Amino acid sequence: MKEKKRLIAEFEEQSFTQIIFPHADTDWADYLEEAQNIFVNIINAIKKYQKCLVVAYDTDAVQKHFSDTSNLEFVEYITDDTWARDCSALCVKEADATTLLDFTFNGWGNKFDAKKDNLMTQNIAHKYLPCKVEKIDFVLEGGAVESNGAGTILTTAACMHNKSRNPQFTPKEITKKLQEFFGAEQILYLHHGYLAGDDTDSHIDTLVRFIDENTIMYVTCKDTNDEHYKALKRMEEELQMLAKAYNFRLIALPMCDAVYFEGERLPATYANFLFVNSAVLVPVYGVTQDQEALKIFKQAFPHREIVAVDCSVLIRQHGSLHCVTMNFSL
């Protein structure tokens, strides 16, 4: 039987993870060495479990950061920045073949220059052979959509219906396009939930994630004095309604203590975790909730290794572990 078109879920078997190494012309310039060290740590964690494709501004220079390059591949391309989740292609499966959908990336609604990032996939497409790469004239970031691999896409209205992305389409038209792109039976929108310091207009991957076809992890806030309390409480209520309607199981993750850099609260979130084959990499931030979060992950994934990755430097630029990576299943 011909397989239905679908956006491959992140918890499925992967071929490799893609990551973009920071360079002096990215926003990491003021603390480039710190940033490069955390990217090296992430790459070393990934390559224990699967291949990692490193997009490098200079392949010779980047390879020198690694004493062991086994399970690593490098491709040279100079990007604007390092948010691989949002400028990389998405893997869609149909009829036992994978097509890579290369959506338009406009810097989260023209907030930042993204011309080079938008052209990245076309410039490194030879690394994805024999997969077809299809350029899509529609603005969409990978961090904006969550797939359960079985016809359901989760997203947020704040991002997907934002007028700085696809103003020519109505919300109804956007929903129809998402269904066509991903072969989805339903597009489920959340209308509440945000993180302070987030540049993405509430990407779903900072708030809510599928961990299997029927189970959702999400961020919750118990502190009534925290600025996130009301929005995350309303988001939880929305999720409870969806769980009842679609028979989803819900697992709550704690909200981090407030983390600041240069006077600004940063979007520290445990929902920005990363699947790799046989493991889950979990961002930690040096706060009291780290151990609680790791315990929840260990209970949720008894057959996967749980690996803590210090992402306290990453969130200075308003993203975390999932944001700087992209999974490929070819």
Contact 86, 323 (CB under 8 A): yes
- Assess if residue 118 is contained within a domain: yes
Distance CA(70)–CA(67), nearest Å, equals 9
Q: What is the pLDDT of residue 130?
A: 87
Q: Alpha-carbon distance 14 to 149, whole Å?
A: 13
Instruction: Provide the pLDDT for residue 96.
Output: 84
Question: 83: closest CA among 39, 49, 127?
Answer: 39
Residues 88-113 have a mean pLDDT of 95
What is the pLDDT, as a whole number, of residue 135? 97
Q: How many domains does the chain have?
A: 1
| Residue 1 placed within a domain | no
Task: Please give the DSSP secondary-structure letter assigned to residue 9.
Answer: P
pLDDT of residue 165: 97
For position 46, what pLDDT does the model report? 98
Listed in order, strand segments (DSSP E) in the chain are 6-7, 16-20, 51-56, 72-76, 90-94, 97-104, 132-139, 146-147, 152-156, 186-190, 208-212, 215-220, 249-254, 260-261, 264-265, 274-276, 279-284, 305-310, 325-328
pLDDT of residue 2: 60
**Cβ(158)–Cβ(194) under 8 Å?**
yes
User: What's the whole-model pTM score?
Assistant: 0.97
Residue 88, pLDDT above cutoff 60: yes
pLDDT tens digit string along 203-239?
999 999 999 999 999 999 999 999 999 999 999 999 9
Convert the pLDDT of each residue in 276-327 to its tens digit: 999 999 999 999 999 999 999 999 999 999 999 999 999 999 999 999 999 9
Q: Could you tell me if residue 278 is left (phi over 0), alpha (psi between -120 and 50 degrees) or otherwise beta? A: left
Instruction: Dump pLDDT digits (tens) for 14-40.
Output: 999 999 999 999 999 999 999 999 999
Average the pLDDT over 154-181 and give the result.
97
Q: pLDDT at residue 1 above 70?
A: no
Q: State residue 55's pLDDT score.
A: 98
Residue 115's domain is classified under what CATH number?
Answer: 3.75.10.10
Determine the Cα–Cα distance for residues 289 and 286; give it in Å rounded to an integer: 8
Residue 4: pLDDT band by 50, 70, 90 thresholds? confident
Q: Is pLDDT above 80 for 111?
A: yes
- Asked if residue 256 belongs to a domain, the reply is yes
Q: What digits encode the pLDDT tens for the residues 231-284?
A: 999 999 999 999 999 999 999 999 999 999 999 999 999 999 999 999 999 999
- Domain range enclosing 164: 6-328
The pair of structure tokens assigned to 321 is 């572990």
Does the residue 289 lie in any domain? yes
Tens-digit pLDDT profile for residues 36-57? 999 999 999 999 999 999 999 9
Average pLDDT, the chain: 97
Whether the pLDDT of residue 101 is over 60: the answer is: yes
Question: What would the mean pLDDT of 94-118 be, rounded to a whole number?
Answer: 95
pLDDT at residue number 265: 96
